[in-house]
Copies of this chain bind each other. A is one copy, B any other.
């Protein structure tokens, strides 16, 4: 958004940006990251190459922006549906029931990962980041870490409320919650379902060891 521009020009810019994002996501999904070019994105979006170069330095930057925009839109939709939203990421609710709050956001994550509209380009970008450290670092910094920090915040609040052990490291704890979902999605070992999200939360919160008096 560019609030100081004339409304017509802003609307045109927004329309072009959105068309370029959609073209980039579609192309990467169809032909992979390596064979996606700025020329191809421009042709598909119906804009000139120079329009893209004016706004973004590289195809990686276009894609990253497209994913950030998608994340922001999904978060806004979630906010409309009752969730809270900040800067393109979901706030994790704090109802006082940690298990319920975590299940809510992890089920939403399952739905996002299983979304047929974004799965192919997300996979292409993840695969490219695995073999290209610079792109991987951008992905982690711009898209992943802001989301992970929400878990740190929620788990710290639970610690303050005495609902999570004081000796737990929130950064390690969130990986026990998030990584199993990523693992199933990336490697397709077993179905990635809401029931699985719930089971991960229950196993991580309760731990594997017997509990005294249980």
Flag whether A44 is at the interface (Cβ < 8 A): no
In the complex, what residue of chain B is closest to A213 when comparing beta carbons? B212
A190 CB contacts on chain B under 8 angstroms: 171
Are B186 and A172 touching (Cβ within 8 A)?
Answer: no
CA distance A123 to B130 in the complex (A): 6
Are B208 and A211 touching (Cβ within 8 A)?
Answer: no
Are A207 and B209 touching (Cβ within 8 A)?
Answer: yes
Are A203 and B127 touching (Cβ within 8 A)?
Answer: no
Taking A203-B204, A212-B212 as given, write out 8 further A-B residue pairs in contact, using a Cβ cutoff of 8 Å, ordered by the A residue number: A127-B128, A129-B187, A137-B188, A163-B209, A172-B180, A176-B180, A179-B180, A204-B208
Residues on A lying within 8 angstroms of B by beta carbon are 32, 34, 123-124, 126-131, 133, 136-137, 139-140, 144-145, 148, 155, 158, 162-165, 168-169, 171-173, 175-176, 178-180, 182-184, 186-190, 196, 199-200, 203-214
